[in-house]
A and B are shown apart, each in its own frame.
Chain A
């Protein structure tokens, strides 16, 4: 039985062709990766095999068989019963945003029982062996009571320990920190890729990660076609783009900053400390990188600088003004004294799918965003889009029709168009392939050459540290090791 077999299969997103009359198959026991530039439809293709694409948004052509069962026939996605058969035949799909599969109303133990019945002992053992995590300590907690990093480790292990013969893995490294990535590679090689009864298909742009896996085949998806690669491309050819320098000088200083927040616990809300004792100076025209494991407080620092969190203590000094004193908490609107600072700050958040209005075209959305105080014109946005590898045609697209990588670049172009004085980038290059990433880095460097900006990048990717960041800090080292209160 061939686990995946496509016959002249095609996928359209509106008028956009993502896959053209594709004849593709993977033999039982094989392990393969599909690479390709961002926005070409790699994840969409994987999701079509998993059967989770809506027929209201996507249209299909040709046929597909999964585990010997018809999944699509003459461009028609088969009914629920057929897909139930496929799911029961051993299909395991692991999405990029793994934590989203967890039901927030159930404890982790209940989620485990629902997602991977009968696999608790092996999950506990694997979490302990590979991620040094004791599941019993988390079993009674709800998903929102667990940190992002712990959640990701638990979810990945639950999904990958489900019994099944066909494993589909979508961009697994997008939210993994460096340490976690190393252990994850070891786990995949030992437990998944060495198993002869499992067929493995992954999509990823992370060449570093792919090279460390023992995969049999590699494919590239480009211009709607899947082509087999004889060998993996080399990374050595990349060169760090040269950033011209603008004016320098101290611009923002964090003095003994700490951040707490409320978390729901068994006995009501409890105060948790994201970080404390943070002392740091950011100068203009330098690209600062903040690294560290998931859940260590990097993103909280970004939100604290943006003054979008309650519970910030200490001083954040900018041009003689203490931003914490100007805006001590987040009530949903900014005090008049803080508004001039708000206009000068821009953030590219982790999940750029939520950076534009959901039901408006990017163009209409941007007009409202610019009018709200962000600034910039549609023409300037179009010019920045060209710099990050998109076109002005993307302005008429809707957020849901763009890939995660395209939305990231759209968000970066939007941020540059606002001509910020403080540019905060939280995992800005996730979902973007390395080649495109260099174009984006260059666009940001060019902006930095013209505008003496404070630029802080939160990242866990070696590539970003190697090719973009000029001065990097390990966040846990900055704030010192402390026990959670």
Chain B
């Protein structure tokens, strides 16, 4: 029964996150399955492109943010003084709305983005966005690692293991690899993915809304696509242009939420 439930859960997660994988299949494969108008207007191509960029952003941000979070979380517990320094900086960052952080990150490169060709601009935009998303997700991610790790060390394992002669560094390395911390890391990764998804789409939406296709960064995101076709819901429009990316984003978000909840249950 439990095995069946686990299989169903995994299948469910794969189905929900499928849009991210399908975005890498050539859009021509799906041309026969969607209304001709979507193909002819170039919408289908844009849709695939935006989800491809989204998947790159999600994977890159998750890897980069996880690397930084694990390192900072570990160092914070290893050295209380350094940990307090990190905590103050991250608390300051957290007090700024995510979108503003993203805009601040784009400010130094806005000239470059405006001057360069589409491909170079897109690459730079992606790099800057991954950096911005990492900065905004970092405070919560570091805290989520630092608190349980510190609890494991200070309240539970430090006395025995230090008395055996292990250094704090080694005890923390061992504790980082426990089932409890592995579950915590899964939860942190799911949280980063969810937060990045929301930031990417909302940022794309606002840029498109504010500057239209002339805006920098040239950030092709499902959020920008939704904003570009927001009039599709009005009379004479094609509602599918609005709902298709929206529903795909909802399914991906649900997949991340399930991952988040699932890891929490395992931890409990």
A308 and B174 contact, Cβ closer than 8 Å, known pairs A332-B78, A346-B163, A372-B165: no
Q: Does B168 count as interface, using CB distance less than 8 angstroms?
A: yes
Which of B78, B160, B170, B177 contacts A355 (CB under 8 A)?
B160
**Are A333 and B168 touching (Cβ within 8 A)?**
yes
Q: Please give, as numbers and ranges, the residues of chain B lying within 8 Å of A331 by CB-CB distance.
A: 168
Which candidate, A112-120, A337-345, A383-391, A449-457, is the interface stretch facing chain B? A337-345
Which of A339, A357, A358 contacts B165 (CB under 8 A)?
A339
The distance in angstroms between the C-alpha atoms of A258 and B263, with both chains bound, is 45
**Are A332 and B169 touching (Cβ within 8 A)?**
yes
Q: Does B63 count as interface, using CB distance less than 8 angstroms?
A: no
**Are B164 and A372 touching (Cβ within 8 A)?**
yes
Q: Could you tell me which residues of chain B, from 160 to 192, have a CB within 8 Å of some CB in chain A? A: 160, 162-170, 174, 177-180
**Are B162 and A308 touching (Cβ within 8 A)?**
yes
Q: Which of A56, A306, A334, A354 has the most chain B CB atoms closer than 10 A to its own CB?
A: A354
Q: Does A369 count as interface, using CB distance less than 8 angstroms?
A: yes
Q: Does A303 count as interface, using CB distance less than 8 angstroms?
A: yes
Closest residue of chain A to B179, judged by CB?
A359
Q: Please give, as numbers and ranges, the residues of chain B lying within 8 Å of A334 by CB-CB distance.
A: 165
The distance in angstroms between the C-alpha atoms of A374 and B162, with both chains bound, is 11
Closest residue of chain B to A400, judged by CB?
B179
**Are B164 and A373 touching (Cβ within 8 A)?**
yes
Closest residue of chain A to B163, judged by CB?
A347
Interface SS, B side = helix
Number of chain A residues close to chain B: CB under 8 A: 28
Closest residue of chain A to B166, judged by CB?
A372
Q: Which of B157, B163, B165, B170 has the most chain A CB atoms closer than 10 A to its own CB?
A: B163
Q: Does A351 count as interface, using CB distance less than 8 angstroms?
A: yes
**Are A354 and B165 touching (Cβ within 8 A)?**
no
Q: Could you tell me which residues of chain B, from 128 to 185, have a CB within 8 Å of some CB in chain A? A: 156-160, 162-170, 174, 177-180
**Are B168 and A308 touching (Cβ within 8 A)?**
no
Q: Please give, as numbers and ranges, the residues of chain B lying within 8 Å of A349 by CB-CB distance.
A: 159-160
The distance in angstroms between the C-alpha atoms of A153 and B168, with both chains bound, is 33
**Are B157 and A354 touching (Cβ within 8 A)?**
yes
**Are A354 and B160 touching (Cβ within 8 A)?**
yes
The distance in angstroms between the C-alpha atoms of A306 and B160, with both chains bound, is 10
Number of chain B residues close to chain A: CB under 8 A: 21
**Are B163 and A308 touching (Cβ within 8 A)?**
yes
**Are B159 and A359 touching (Cβ within 8 A)?**
no
**Are B168 and A369 touching (Cβ within 8 A)?**
no
Closest-CB distance, A389 to chain B (whole angstroms): 21
Q: Please give, as numbers and ranges, the residues of chain B lying within 8 Å of A347 by CB-CB distance.
A: 159-160, 163
The distance in angstroms between the C-alpha atoms of A372 and B174, with both chains bound, is 13
The distance in angstroms between the C-alpha atoms of A339 and B163, with both chains bound, is 11
Q: Please give, as numbers and ranges, the residues of chain B lying within 8 Å of A330 by CB-CB distance.
A: 162
Which of B158, B166, B180 contacts A358 (CB under 8 A)?
B180
**Are A374 and B159 touching (Cβ within 8 A)?**
no
Closest-CB distance, A409 to chain B (whole angstroms): 15
A333 and B167 contact, Cβ closer than 8 Å, known pairs A308-B162, A357-B174, A358-B180: yes
The distance in angstroms between the C-alpha atoms of A188 and B132, with both chains bound, is 59
Closest-CB distance, B71 to chain A (whole angstroms): 17
Q: Which of A56, A332, A346, A357 has the most chain B CB atoms closer than 10 A to its own CB?
A: A332
**Are B160 and A333 touching (Cβ within 8 A)?**
no
The distance in angstroms between the C-alpha atoms of A37 and B164, with both chains bound, is 30
Q: Please give, as numbers and ranges, the residues of chain B lying within 8 Å of A56 by CB-CB distance.
A: 2
- What is B's interface to A at a CB cutoff of 8 Å? 2, 78, 156-160, 162-170, 174, 177-180
Sample (7) of A-B pairs whose CB atoms are under 8 Å apart: A55-B2, A306-B163, A332-B162, A333-B167, A349-B159, A357-B174, A374-B164
Besides A332-B162, A358-B180, 10 new A-B residue pairs in contact (Cβ under 8 A), listed by A number: A56-B2, A308-B162, A332-B78, A332-B168, A334-B165, A354-B156, A354-B160, A372-B166, A373-B165, A411-B160
Closest 9 A/B residue pairs (Cβ)? A332-B168, A373-B165, A354-B156, A333-B167, A355-B160, A372-B165, A347-B163, A374-B164, A349-B159
